[in-house]
Amino acid sequence: MNVEAFLGDFSLSPSPSLWEEEAHVTRRDSVVFSGKSYPRFFNEFWTARQRGGHSLHEISYRACFKPELPRFFISLLTQPGERVFDPFMGRGTTVVEAALLGRHVGGNDINPLSAILTAPRLDPPMPDEIAARLSAIDLHRPVAEPDIDLGMFYSPHTLRQILNLRAWLRRRWQNGEEDHVDRWLRMVATNRLTGHSSGFFSVYTLPPNQAVSPQRQMRINQLRKQTPPDRDVAAIILKKSRSLMRRLTWQDRAHLTNAAGDAVLSTADAADMQDIQDASIDLIVTSPPFLNTVQYAADNWLRCWFNHLDAEAIGRKITVTASLPRWSACMSAVFDELFRIVKPGGWVAFEVGEVRNGTINLDEVIAPLGEAAGFVCKAIMINEQQFTKTANCWGVQNNRKGTNTNRIVLFQKP
C-alpha cells in the first residue's frame, strides 16, 4: 500500500480524546538526517477512546507501550494469517495483540521474564481450571525460610503461601509436569508480587512494574507506619485471573489457540535470533531499550527470585547504556538481523520515543541505521496523544505541551 499517501490523508473526525469539533488532519514536513531528507507525519493516529484495550494486556512491565500502537500497524500493514514479530518483546504487547487479531506471532527478548509473562496468555486456561489447581496446592504447609529476607514486603503468613507456590511451580517444571495452568499461575503470581493495593501480595509499595530494594521498602514502611498485612494468595491470583479474562471471548480463544500453535518465543540477543527463519516475518512492531532509562535488573529482582532467575546476569545482557554511539552500534547490529528475517515487501515499525527530556530524538539515529541495513524509511510518525480537559484539570502532564508523544520510524524491505 502507499503508506505515505495514507498517512498524509489520515484524520480522526472528530477525535474522541478531545473536546473539539474539528478533525485531526495530518501535518506533514520533512527532516534531514545524515544528509538525507525523510518524510515526517504528525497526528493523533490512535486515540484515548481506543485505550480500552483488551483486558488480557493488563500485565505490568516497565517501559511498555499501549496495545493501540501495535494494533494500528497490524491492522494497517498485515492481513489475518500473516506473521507479526517483536524482537524486544517485553510484556508481550505486540505478540498478544497480533494473536487476538488473528495473526501468527513470534517474539524474542533476552530477559526470560518476557516469555514467562507472554506465553501463558496465548494459551489461557479456563477459570475453573485455575480454581481447581489452586485448591490442589497446599499453600499453608510448613516451609523452609527463604534465602533472602523478605519480611519488609510480606507477613509470615503471606510469605509461607508464596514460598509454597514457588516450590510447587519449581517441582512441576523440574519433573516435566508443568502445563498451561501452572504457567498461568506463574505469570499471575509474578505480576502480583508487589504493588500499591490489596490486590497484591505485598504491603503498600511502588506500582507493580518495578520492585524497590529491601532497604527502600523498610524506609517506606517507616514513613507510612505500616506493617505487611496477611494476604490470601490464592484469592488474589483467582481475582486477577478473572480480571484478565473478563473480555476474553470464544473467538479470542480460537485466535489465541491458532497463534500459539506455531508461535516462537525466544530468549536470544536481538542481533542474533537463530530460531527465526530467514524472510519469515511480515511485520515487526517493537521498541528497544532506550539510553539508560530503565534499570531492568533492579526493577525485576523480586520477579527473578520468584522464578529462580539470576537478575544480575540477565541485567548484564540487556543493552543499558548512556552512550549514544554504543547504543547506535547495538541497534545497527539489530537492524542487520531484522533485515534477514523480514520478508521482501515486509515492514518494521520501530518506536523510539524521546529521551533525556526530549533533547535526544532517537528517530534521528534509527532512520539512517535502518536504511544502512537495507530497509527503506517510508515515514517518521509522531503520534501526539493529547490530554482531555479533564486530565489537564487533574494535573496530568508529561511534557510542556501536555501531550504523550510516540516517535515511530516506519521501514519497508525492498
Candidate from 58-62, 74-78, 114-118, 160-164 with smallest mean pLDDT? 58-62
- The residue among 366, 349, 353 whose CA lies nearest residue 413 is 349
Q: Are 157 and 137 in contact (CB under 8 A)?
A: no
Write the single-letter amino acid at 279. Answer: A
Interacting residues of 126 by C-beta distance below 8 A, sequence separation 6+: none
| Confidence bin at 287 (pLDDT 50/70/90) | very high
Which residue, 23, 20, 25, is CA-closest to 7?
Answer: 25
Q: Is residue 2 scored above 70 in pLDDT?
A: yes
pLDDT value for 294? 65
pLDDT above 70 as % of the chain: 86
- Give me the residue spans of the domains in the chain: 3-112+263-298+317-412, 127-243
pLDDT tens digits along 316-327: 888 667 788 999
Euclidean distance between CA atoms 19 and 58, whole angstroms: 28
Gap between the Cα atoms of 41 and 406, Å rounded: 12
Cell of 109: 527478548
Cis peptide before 229 (omega within 30 of 0): no
Backbone angles phi and psi of 353, in degrees to 5: 55, -150
Q: Is the pLDDT of residue 275 over 70?
A: yes
**What percent of the chain has a predicted confidence (pLDDT) above 90?**
71
Q: What is the pLDDT of residues 327-378, one digit of tens each?
A: 999 999 999 999 999 999 999 999 997 666 667 788 999 999 999 999 999 9
Query: In angstroms, rounded to a whole number, what is the distance separating the alpha carbons of residues 377 and 372?
Result: 10
In sequence order, the 6+-apart residues with CB closer than 8 A to the CB of 108 are 85, 86, 87, 88, 89, 265, 266, 267, 268, 270, 273, 275, 276
Sheet-wide strand order for 83-86:
27-33, 36-43, 376-386, 403-412, 342-351, 281-286, 83-86, 104-108, 264-266
* Whole-number pLDDT of residue 11: 61
DSSP assignments along 279-300, one per residue:
T-EEEEEE----SS---HHHHT
Q: CA–CA separation, 185 vs 193, rounded Å?
A: 12
Element (H, E) at 36: strand 36-43
Confidence of residue 151 (pLDDT cuts 50, 70, 90): very high
pLDDT at 290: 77
Specify the pLDDT at position 25: 77
Give pLDDT, residue 68: 92
Give residue 388's pLDDT band: very low, low, confident or very high (50, 70, 90): very low
Q: Provide the CATH topology of domain 3-112+263-298+317-412.
A: Rossmann fold (3.40.50)
- Share the mean pLDDT of the chain: 88
Q: Is residue 350 within 8 Å of 289, Cβ to Cβ? A: no
pLDDT band with cut points at 50, 70 and 90 for residue 392: very low
**Residue 230 pLDDT > 90:** yes
User: Counting runs of H as helices and runs of E as strands, what totals does the chain give?
Assistant: 16, 11
Output the pLDDT for position 22.
Answer: 43
pLDDT of residue 312: 87
Give yes or no for residue 209 having a pLDDT over 60.
yes
pLDDT, position 16:
42
Q: Distance between CA 298 and CA 212 in Å, rounded?
A: 8
Q: Write down the pLDDT at residue 395.
A: 38
pLDDT per position as a tens digit, 79-105: 999 999 999 999 999 999 999 999 999
